[in-house]
């Protein structure tokens, strides 16, 4: 039976707002090929301030910005530099953070923890990844002990291989089933765009490319509306001969940024800021790196336990679709159907893209929008797998629900 009320510890933390740039395709032909990563973050922070004019900039206590590859235009203590470039007062500090794909999610939970214990009142948290400028793992030098002492399977250093390993572990998740899920993701995103549900939280970005001049980017570049099962069946399996993971049932290589505004609930009320969600609990968990996609399962179980809730209490899920098999293994574990209406109502990363460290806030922004649409749902979850064998889950409460605040 669903639990009536969750446990609460410390000060209540609310998600005030979240925005993102349109996501682009990584590479020389992508929309952000000649745009700096830090400038993408700056656009998001400026938009947050524009959308929340009752917030004095000097009331922001910290800026946490994540990036997986912290070098070049994603380096130099990104939270601080992006804050300064955004026009925030010099008194507002900032820092950079890295938990690979869950970077922005960790930026949120870390700063939210600071709010919970009273160290902060208002924070900005987000992430960026320009995979065109900085491919995943660029410049990395893994310690040779990983291989010589067999601390991890060599396959763990390639995310596509870990997805194939997950298919091996769960043979009932076939390529056909993964492809069907991927087609559904494309269709749901196309429907969400058609209904105008994605556009309100996108930050238009001006870009310039040699020979093309200036353009205003207002929509995501990766989606492939109209994708069919036949289209996906024809794709090669790059990680294994006769494998099951393809470019069609996995997220691509993408560029983009996100940012969110979090506050103590009483501070939000004081400043006239609208609470779109309230944080209930969060958890991170480690798993075998060679099957990193299963990470959201133990993370979700831990977050539910900390909240005193069950999976039946969760009325909406935003699960990052790094690979279809990763989402399907989560759904199977909890007995949720592949096409359950609670899961990724606007589609997911297979369709919209996954600029690594930025994606966590995209999940939260979409969940907040769905909470507003559906007051019958009290609790929602954002979850994702993380490279090198981890998972993350955050549980949120819907302020539009009749029992909110009980």
Burial class (CB in 10 A: 0-12, 13-18, 19+), 301: middle
End-to-end CA distance of the chain: 18
Among candidate residues 44, 133, 134, 385, the one labeled active-site is 385
| Separation CA 68–CA 127 (nearest Å) | 9
Among candidate residues 101, 130, 133, 134, the one labeled active-site is 101
Task: For residue 364, give the nearest of 308, 305, 318, 304 by alpha carbon.
Answer: 318
What is the maximum span of the chain, computed from C-alpha positions, in angstroms?
A: 61
Task: For residue 68, give the nearest of 377, 359, 400, 371 by alpha carbon.
Answer: 359
Structural element, H or E, at residue 185? helix 175-194
Among candidate residues 44, 242, 354, 401, the one labeled active-site is 354
Residue 354 is a catalytic residue? yes
Strands (E) located in 265-402: 277-286, 314-319, 379-386, 390-397
Residue 385 is a catalytic residue? yes
3-state secondary structure of 217: strand
Residue 333 is a catalytic residue? no
| Separation CA 63–CA 46 (nearest Å) | 13
To which residue do tokens 């938990």 refer? 99
- Angle in degrees, CA 131, 136, 141, rounded to 5: 140
Active site residues: 101, 354, 385
């Amino acid at each position: 039976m669903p639990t009536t009320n969750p446990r609460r510890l410390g000060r209540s933390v609310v998600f005030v707002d979240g925005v993102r740039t349109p996501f682009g395709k990584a590479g020389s032909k992508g929309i952000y090929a000649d745009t700096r990563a830090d400038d993408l973050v700056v656009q998001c922070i400026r938009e947050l301030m524009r959308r929340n004019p009752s917030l004095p900039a000097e009331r922001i206590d910290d800026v946490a910005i994540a990036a997986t590859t912290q070098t070049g235009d994603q380096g130099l203590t990104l939270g601080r530099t992006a804050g300064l470039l955004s026009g925030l007062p010099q008194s507002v500090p900032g820092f950079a953070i890295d938990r690979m794909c869950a970077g922005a999610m960790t930026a949120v939970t870390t700063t939210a923890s600071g709010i919970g214990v009273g160290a902060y009142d208002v924070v900005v948290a987000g992430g960026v990844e320009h995979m065109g400028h900085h491919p995943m793992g660029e410049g990395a030098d893994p310690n040779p002990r990983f291989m010589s002492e067999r601390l991890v399977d060599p396959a763990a250093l390639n995310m596509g291989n870990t997805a194939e390993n997950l298919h091996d572990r769960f043979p009932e998740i076939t390529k056909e089933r993964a492809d069907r899920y991927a087609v559904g993701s494309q269709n749901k995103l196309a429907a969400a765009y058609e209904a105008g549900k994605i556009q309100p939280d996108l930050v238009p970005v001006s870009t310039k490319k040699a020979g093309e001049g200036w353009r205003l980017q207002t929509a995501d570049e990766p989606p492939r509306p109209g994708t069919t099962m036949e289209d996906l069946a024809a794709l090669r399996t790059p990680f294994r001969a006769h494998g099951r993971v393809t470019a069609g049932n996995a997220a691509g290589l993408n560029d983009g940024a996100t940012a969110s505004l979090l506050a103590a609930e009483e501070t939000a009320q004081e400043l006239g800021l609208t609470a779109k969600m309230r944080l209930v609990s969060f958890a991170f968990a480690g798993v075998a790196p060679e099957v990193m996609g299963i990470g959201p399962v133990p993370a979700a179980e831990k977050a539910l336990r900390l909240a005193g809730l069950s999976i039946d209490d969760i009325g909406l899920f935003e699960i990052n679709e790094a690979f279809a098999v990763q989402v399907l293994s989560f759904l199977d574990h909890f007995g949720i159907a592949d096409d359950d209406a609670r899961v990724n109502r606007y589609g997911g990363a297979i369709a919209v893209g996954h600029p690594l460290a930025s994606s966590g806030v995209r999940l939260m922004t979409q969940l907040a929008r769905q909470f507003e649409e559906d007051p019958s749902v009290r609790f929602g979850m954002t979850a994702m797998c993380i490279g090198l064998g981890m998972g993350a889950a955050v549980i949120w409460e819907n302020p539009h629900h009749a029992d909110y605040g009980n």
